[in-house]
Amino acid sequence: MGKSLSEMSLEELWMLFPIILEEHNPMWKEWYLEEKKLIISSIGNDNIERINHIGSTSVNGLIAKPTIDILLEITKDCDLKFLVNMLEENGYIFENQPQKPAPHMMFMKGYTEKGFSEKVFHLHVRYLGDWDELYFRDYLRSHTDISQAYGDLKIALKDKYEHNRDGYTEAKTEFIRKYTTIAKIEFKNKYSPRK
């Protein structure tokens, strides 16, 4: 019998879960909506400030890793132990990130000892805030030329970083920061919490 995911080294995990890029799949939006309903029903709408589909799968026409990224913004009084328990009961794996204190929490779903499931989700849990990912998503949605350039960058990086997820992410950082800064000027506090 092989190792469980928790027993694997980072290098073993990167080999099992390489960077895969796919053309945009219209089912990604449906998968997000289904998962959103599941999240709301498991933790309760009263614990949620906002929930959004983020990342490349949320941008029509953009090549992407087939992973649905969801930003779940929770209320200040949400019971974090309850949240973790309910998400784990619904198939999520809690990835402890001590360098990012709660409630900046990461959950994953769709990872198996044999590789990716058909549907893979990354759930980013935070308190309500003015998060960069929302601005970057909106900028790519409204600027197809920049979206295309981002897709081209990802294609160029895929082979070099196929088995190095951290390297792949780092190599995209300058592009993402540049256009997030521009987006925050264009969209002026669109996601800033109302006082």
Residue 58, both tokens: 């949320």
The set of residues, in sequence order, having a beta carbon less than 8 Å from that of 143 and lying 6+ positions away, is: none
Helix (H) or strand (E) holding 33: helix 27-43
Please write the tens of the pLDDT for every residue from 119-139. 999 999 999 999 999 999 999
**Segments making up each domain of the chain, as ranges:** 5-187
Please write the tens of the pLDDT for every residue from 139-193. 999 999 999 999 999 999 999 999 999 999 999 999 999 999 999 999 998 999 8
At 178 the pLDDT is 99
Sequential DSSP letters for 38-79 = HHHHHH-GGGEEEEEEESGGGSTT--B-SEEEEEEEE-TT--
CB neighbours of residue 131 within 10 Å? 18
Please write the tens of the pLDDT for every residue from 1-43. 578 887 878 788 888 899 999 999 999 999 999 999 999 999 9
Closest CA to 126 of 173, 87, 74, 172: 74
Dihedrals phi, psi of 56, to nearest 5 degrees = -65, -30
| Residue 185 CA: distances (Å) to CA of 93, 174, 181, 194 | 36, 17, 7, 18
At 10 the pLDDT is 76
pTM (global) more than 0.75: yes
- Topology of domain 5-187, CATH: Beta Polymerase; domain 2 (3.30.460)
Q: What is the DSSP letter of 6?
A: G
Output the average pLDDT for the chain.
93
